[in-house]
Amino acid sequence: MLKSLHIDPGKCTGCLQCELACSYENEKVFNPAKSRIKVFNFHDEGRFVPYTCTQCDEAWCMHACPVDAIKLNLANGSKDVHEDICVGCKVCTIACPFGTVNYNADTGKVVKCDLCGGDPKCASACPTDAITYVDAEMTGYDRMRAWAAKTDNNANAQA
Nearest partner of 4 among 50, 41, 56, 39, judged by Cα: 56
Burial 12-45 (b: 16+ CB within 10 A, else e): bebebbbbbbbbbbbbeeeeeebbbbbbeeeeee
pLDDT at residue 157 in the model: 55
Sorted by where each starts, the structural domains of the chain and their CATH numbers stand as 1-52+118-159 (3.30.70), 55-112 (3.30.70.20)
At residue 37, the pLDDT reads 98
pLDDT above 90 covers a percentage of the chain that reads 81
Rounded distance between C-alpha atoms, residue 70 and residue 133, angstroms: 22
SS3 40: strand
pLDDT, tens digit, 9 for 90 and up, residues 72-107: 999 999 999 999 999 999 999 999 999 999 999 999
pLDDT at 159: 53
pLDDT the model gives residue 155: 54
Whole-angstrom distance, CA of residue 146 vs CA of residue 112: 31
To the nearest 10°, report the CA torsion of 23, 76, 14, 37. 50
How confident is the model at residue 150, as a pLDDT? 83
Residues 150 and 20 sit within 8 Å (Cβ to Cβ)? no
- Other Cβ atoms closer than 10 A to 86: 21
Decide which of 135 and 100 is more confident: 100
Q: Which tens digits make up the pLDDT trace of 54-69?
A: 999 999 999 999 999 9
Task: Kindly report the pTM of this predicted structure.
Answer: 0.84
